[in-house]
Amino acid sequence: MKIVFTPDWFLGHDVLIDVFSFVILFLFFLFSIKSYKLNKNKRLLYLGIGFLLIALAELSIILTKFAIFYDTTLTSSIGGLIITYQVVSSVDIIYYLSFFFERLFTLSGLYIIYRLPLKKLSGDFVLVSYFIIIASVMCHNFYYIYHLTALIFLGLITRNYIKVYRKNKSANTQIFILAMSLLAISQVMFVLSKVSYFYVTAQIIQLTSYITLLILIIKITKNGKKKQDKHNL
Amino acid sequence: MERRSRINIIYDILRVIQERVGGIKKTHIMYRANLSHNQMKLYLAELYKKRFIENTDADKPLIKITKKGQDFFRQYAQVKEFEKTFGL
């Protein structure tokens, strides 16, 4: 069964996009933890955990893709059909596990980010965790279930942050909404990713979304400095 | 109205002090940061201890922000911006 839809000519480029995504997510994690240490707002800690889980998911996919790339190289250099089969079988379980954790971590991280703006953090955690695990397991046979679940979470996140924007009128919240909407669109493209054109488009949209998140973190940092400069005048 | 947290009061005091480049009187801090006299005394003592603020001169009772205080103010302004972005 095909587990990665990257066309051959795009191999390597997609890993670079994943590495970039990982760096941005990790930056958000660091910023959240730094903020939590300063004012002990637990929601900041949860936000950090949410970003960390998605970052770990990216890391998992990066390592898996490296492994696939290494296998391909090994296979082509040895050339034997039987040896190829053995190599693929031995790493099959690793692929399965890493894809499982990638999906589990991403969906859990998205769920945390979705819950945060809500007044009550408590919810049906056990039930939701159960469905997230089920979705992560089922994705092995039906890859699109993961993307559809992620799409639902991203849609809910977008809806929640639109409500936040109506209250705070912050341009930064608008940027976050844009980034999440782009990620949601990329999930629609990933659902169709059996056609390589859609897979590449999804990856490019994902890259655009993470560039938007990078702009957001730069803006937040600059706004802090601006406030200081304004008061220094 | 929402009650200010300790850290938000410190942020407000530093903001008020920073607005006056040449230094500011204690009474002005009290009024502009919305503090009682006792609150102000406690918070200023803490800020002196942390070296976030200092007196401009020994003979003048004016208070100014230190480099360390400015760094803290900048960092906390970023945290507030971050919280606002995510509606936390």
What is the SS3 string spanning chain B? CCCCCHHHHHHHHHHHHHHCCCCECHHHHHHHCCCCHHHHHHHHHHHHHCCCEEECCCCCCCEEECHHHHHHHHHHHHHHHHHHHHCC
| pLDDT tens-digit map of A161-207 | 999 999 988 999 999 999 999 999 999 998 888 777 888 999 999 99
β-strands B53-55, B63-65 pairing: antiparallel
What lies within 8 Å, CB to CB, of A35 at 6+ separation is: A41, A44, B78, B79, B82, B83
Q: Does B71 touch chain A (CB under 8 A)?
A: no
Q: What ipTM was reported for this prediction?
A: 0.78
pLDDT, residue A215, reads 95
User: Among partner residues A34, A43, A231, which is closest to B19 by beta-carbon distance?
Assistant: A231
The nearest CA of chain A is from the CA of B14 a distance in Å of 10
* Integer CA distances (angstroms), A202 to A182, A195, B54, B84, in order: 9, 11, 55, 30
pTM over cut 0.90: no
Structure token pair of residue A173:
């919240």
The nearest CA of chain B is from the CA of A57 a distance in Å of 22
